[in-house]
Amino acid sequence: MLTCSKFLTTSNYAPRLRARFEVEQQLIDDATTRDWPREIERHEATKRRLEQLLHDLA
């Protein structure tokens, strides 16, 4: 859903986006520990999208 071209958000959701950003980092750390490169890539892409959304809301 985060990559959908019709996805919209507002600053009201910034706390939820920040929380999800932290979860994605935890998932990246876990995937790194387990040596799962595809999962690392997937979670990094989601984290970048969240970072972009948070930047756009600032």
pLDDT digits (tens, 9 = 90+) for 21-46: 999 999 999 999 999 999 999 999 99
Share of the chain above pLDDT 90, in %: 83
Residue 53 lies in a domain: yes
Residue 32 lies in a domain: yes
Burial of 43: CB neighbours in 10 Å, binned 0-12, 13-18, 19+ = buried
Burial of 42: CB neighbours in 10 Å, binned 0-12, 13-18, 19+ = middle
* pTM score: 0.89
The boundaries of the domain holding residue 42 are 20-57
Residue 49 lies in a domain: yes
Q: At what angle do helices 14-33 and 37-57 cross, to 10 degrees?
A: 160
Question: What is the rounded CA–CA span in Å between residue 22 and residue 49?
Answer: 13
Tokens of 31: 């995937």
In the chain, how many domains are there? 1
Residue 52 lies in a domain: yes
